Amino acid sequence: MSLIIKDKIQQLMIGYPTVSDKYNVSGGILAGTNNVYFGDLVKVSGTAGYFEKAVSLNSVAEIAGFVLATNVKLAEGFPGTTPATKPGEAFNLMINGFMAVELDSGASIENVTSVACVAVKTTDVAVVSGKTYYTRSSSAAGAGYLNDGTYAYTAVASPTDANIGTYYEVTKLGSDAETDYATPNAKVYVILATGKLTTSDNASASAIVELPNVVFTGIKELQGSKKVAEIFIK
């Protein structure tokens, strides 16, 4: 019998230490009502030694650390789903070291060139129900999602036959440029509402704030729809 591996082994395993001899852990018990998964942040609770999933945070001062993967808790099913740590169960809390974590979908981990959208003036003589029409205006913002590099296009909320001659149809949506913010020693930010990690370009004074003593190492990858990066918890 032989095993066939369809895809490559992932470089970064979420919730696992990436440098095996350079991390420190502490024990904890999960409180609250939410499950946690490897790589999740947890916050302090009202009882020493008990921690809760880091959601609805008031500040980063509540954060205690990351849930560390352990081989004692095996993946469930085949080919294996990420095992949950349930309230009342013990877990290992990583307090410093190198670790792979999943980032929020809005994190910027690639340098991507913008692509211009394509639009043409409509040939319709009357509004077609259900069709989206656009107006255009000069723009210096550059090519992007609804920008062809010269004009920006705006969807018309309530198109009318009287204005049909001014409308455009977008035949191909563009995409905005993206700058990599998960570079070596770049700061890691946390979304207080969800406990998800992201990059500094998403910072918001009261909602998405810097996570102290945690930086990116510059190693990251896309795993399907997941954005995964290595961090260093100092």
pLDDT at 154 over 70: yes
CATH fold of 23-107+180-233 reads: Virus Head Decoration Protein; Chain: A, (2.40.300)
**Alpha-carbon span 45 to 32, nearest angstrom:** 8
On the question of pLDDT at 1 being above 90, the answer is: no
Instruction: Return the pLDDT at 4.
Output: 44
pLDDT band at 70 (very low <50, low <70, confident <90, very high): confident
pLDDT of 76 higher than 70? no
Instruction: Identify the pLDDT of residue 159.
Output: 98
Identify the band that residue 2 occupies on the pLDDT scale cut at 50, 70 and 90: very low
Whether the predicted pLDDT of 3 surpasses 50: no
One-letter amino acid of 111:
N
- Checking phi first, is residue 145 left (phi over 0); if not, alpha (psi -120 to 50) or beta? alpha
Mean pLDDT calculated for residue range 77-96: 83
User: For residue 34, is pLDDT > 60?
Assistant: yes
180-197 pLDDT tens trace:
999 999 999 999 999 999
And the tokens for 166?
A: 């001014």
User: What mean pLDDT is predicted for residues 67-79?
Assistant: 70
Task: Report how far residue 137's alpha carbon sits from residue 5's, in angstroms, rounded to the nearest whole number.
Answer: 52
Q: What average pLDDT does the chain have?
A: 92
- The reported pLDDT for the residue numbered 214 is 98
Say what the pLDDT of residue 63 is.
97
3-state secondary structure the chain: CCCCCCCCCCCCCCCCECCCCCEEEEEEEECCCCCEECCCEEEECCCCCEEEECCCCCCHHHEEEEEECCCCCCCECCCCECCEECCCCEEEEEEEEEEEEEECCCCCCCCECCECCEEEECCCCCCCCCCCCEEEEECCCCCECCECCCEEEEECCCCCHHHHHHCEEEEECCECCECCCCCCCCEEEEECCCCCEECHHHCECCCEEEEEEEEEEEEEEEECCEEEEEEEEC
> What mean pLDDT is predicted for residues 146-162?
98
pTM above 0.85?
A: no
Q: Could you read off the pLDDT of 194-207 as tens digits, one per residue?
A: 999 999 999 999 99
Digit-coded pLDDT (tens) for 42-59: 999 989 999 999 999 999
Domain ranges of the chain: 23-107+180-233, 118-172
